[in-house]
């Protein structure tokens, strides 16, 4: 099994980018250890503060954010970072070549029940003509990403990583202390009979998503002609990992439960990196109306609807959004 550096060198990845990725993964190894200690280390439970998203922070949210922020800014190759847990961007080296966005602990509400959580990250090229403290430098489409990945803290600690030449899966070898390549190319099957969505929000969805899910639930007696299974982990990183491993469709659609926040997932440090990974594995990703990686962000904490996974199923769901009165089943 190969280590990360030789694999990336083989792909012709910039040495500074390789160094940055190794630094991010070093922080993730430390986060994995803190997560594994759980109550023994006193890291479970919530703090008394909220993040910029209006969400109560878990202790591990704060710990993971500080670990990542510190090591990334120390690399010297990063001009600025943007995190789900930070109100504003944090400037680094004015001459740094890269920008890093991250969700330090996706699914952190799962920490107290010992369920799946993870770290999601995205790397963008820095604009040499903009100041390190200028947030507008982050407002690039997902197609501009030079690398993206997540680390899943589960029974084993796994990494999904892309630099634009496919999506590879790695597993943390705790005896060696590094990530080793365990899947040369993740490939998402085009067709699926599995979906992941929070059904408790069904009454708040837009009509196209209601119609789409209703047809899945009718099974082989309905328009889709086959039975579907539903899975829901309540952590995007866990649901997307399942999609990468065996296919499926994951959706967090727009809903009207809170009209001031119709979309749930953050574009820059959740939707874009996951879309990059999924597309590089042969899948597709959309809001229902637009390819996610074509969106030009207007704010670093912008939220979007997300539908991603097996290409045929995503295209079919998008067709429902294009014509909700007469949905077209993708070939």
270 is in an annotated binding site: yes
110 is in an annotated binding site: no
323 is in an annotated binding site: no
49 is in an annotated binding site: no
> Which residue is it, tokens 């084993």?
156
- Tell which residue, 148, 145, 141, has the closest CA to residue 125: 145
The answer to whether the beta carbons of residues 58 and 47 sit under 8 Å apart is yes
282 is in an annotated binding site: no
103 is in an annotated binding site: yes
264 is in an annotated binding site: yes
Full DSSP string of 40-63: GGT--SEEEEE-TTS-EEEHHHHH
178 is in an annotated binding site: no
198 is in an annotated binding site: yes
> How many angstroms separate the Cα of 71 from the Cα of each of 149, 192, 257, 307?
17, 40, 38, 32
- Tell which residue, 193, 196, 260, 264, has the closest CA to residue 231: 196
105 is in an annotated binding site: yes
- Numbered residues of the known binding site for Mg(2+): 84, 103, 105-106, 270
- Numbered residues of the known binding site: 84, 103, 105-109, 198, 264, 270
- Numbered residues of the known binding site for substrate: 106-109, 198, 264
């Amino acid at each position: 099994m190969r280590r990360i550096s030789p694999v990336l060198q083989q792909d012709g990845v910039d040495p500074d980018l390789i160094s940055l990725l190794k630094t991010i993964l070093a922080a993730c190894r430390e986060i994995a250890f803190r997560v594994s200690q759980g109550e023994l280390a006193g890291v479970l439970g919530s703090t008394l503060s909220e993040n910029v998203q209006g969400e109560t922070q878990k202790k591990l949210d704060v710990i993971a954010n500080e670990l990542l922020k510190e090591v990334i800014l120390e690399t010297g190759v990063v001009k600025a970072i943007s995190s789900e847990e930070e109100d504003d961007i944090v400037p680094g080296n004015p001459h740094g070549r890269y920008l890093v966005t991250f969700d330090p602990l996706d699914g952190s509400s799962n920490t107290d029940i010992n369920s799946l959580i993870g770290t999601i990250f995205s790397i963008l090229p820095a604009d040499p003509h903009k100041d390190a403290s200028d947030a507008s430098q982050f407002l690039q489409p997902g197609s501009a990403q030079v690398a993206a990945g997540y680390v899943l803290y589960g029974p084993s600690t796994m990494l999904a990583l892309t630099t634009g030449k496919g999506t590879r899966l790695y597993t943390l070898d705790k005896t060696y202390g590094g990530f080793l390549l365990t899947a040369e190319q993740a490939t998402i099957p085009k067709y699926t009979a599995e979906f992941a969505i929070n059904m408790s929000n069904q009454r708040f969805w837009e009509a196209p998503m209601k119609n789409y899910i209703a047809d899945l639930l009718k099974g082989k007696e309905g328009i889709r002609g086959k039975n579907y299974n539903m899975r829901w982990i309540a952590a995007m990183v866990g649901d997307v990992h399942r999609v990468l491993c065996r296919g499926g469709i994951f959706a967090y659609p727009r809903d009207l439960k809170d009209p001031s926040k119709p979309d749930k997932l953050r574009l820059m440090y959740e939707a874009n990196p996951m879309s990059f990974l999924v597309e590089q594995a042969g899948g597709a990703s959309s809001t229902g109306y637009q390819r996610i990686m074509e969106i030009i962000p207007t704010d670093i904490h912008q939220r979007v609807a997300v539908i991603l996974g097996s290409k045929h199923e995503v295209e079919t769901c998008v067709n429902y959004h294009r014509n909700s009165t007469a949905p077209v089943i993708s070939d």
